[in-house]
């Protein structure tokens, strides 16, 4: 398998929100593992980046957290989407789709005249 990539600046929040939207509440470690799994293990998720991103999303009102027990009976903080987070997922996904469409114009070879 190839080398793992770092997560691009600005995409981690969307990946976290989208993962929480599809999976429901997850603790930080589970969220990180799921994001890496969805990427086909092509991403290398830095936990020093994930937790500050989750804190920022919580401060912005897009997610909320609560303490609970993990599958192995350890105390863990679980994250879930808020109503504002559900709206933000749709907005951020639309913005990302627009951005990738613009980038595709630059990456696709121009037809020769």
Q: Identify the pLDDT of residue 113.
A: 44
**Residue found by looking up tokens 């027990």 in the block:** 69
Per residue in 36-59, pLDDT (tens digit) is 999 999 888 877 889 999 999 999
To the nearest 10°, the Cα dihedral for 64, 69, 74, 78?
-20
pLDDT, averaged across the chain: 89
Proportion of the chain in helix, strand, coil states, percent, rounded to 5: 55, 20, 30
Q: Which CATH number fits domain 5-107: 3.40.50.1360, 3.40.1190.20, 2.40.128.110, 1.10.10.10?
A: 1.10.10.10
Q: Could you give the percent of the chain with pLDDT greater than 90?
A: 70
pTM as predicted: 0.84
**Residue found by looking up tokens 């500050």 in the block:** 52
Neighbours of 30 (CB within 10 A): 17
H/E segment holding residue 23: helix 12-23
């Amino acid at each position: 398998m190839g080398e793992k990539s770092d997560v691009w600046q600005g995409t981690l929040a969307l990946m976290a929100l989208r993962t929480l939207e599809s999976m429901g509440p997850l603790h930080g470690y589970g969220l990180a593992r799921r994001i890496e799994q969805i990427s086909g293990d092509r991403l290398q998720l830095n936990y020093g980046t994930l937790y500050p991103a989750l804190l920022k999303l919580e401060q912005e009102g897009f997610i909320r957290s609560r303490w609970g027990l993990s599958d192995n009976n350890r105390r863990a903080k679980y994250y879930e989407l808020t109503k504002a987070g559900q709206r933000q997922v749709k907005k951020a996904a639309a913005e990302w789709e627009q951005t990738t469409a613009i980038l595709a114009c630059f990456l696709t070879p121009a037809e020769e005249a």
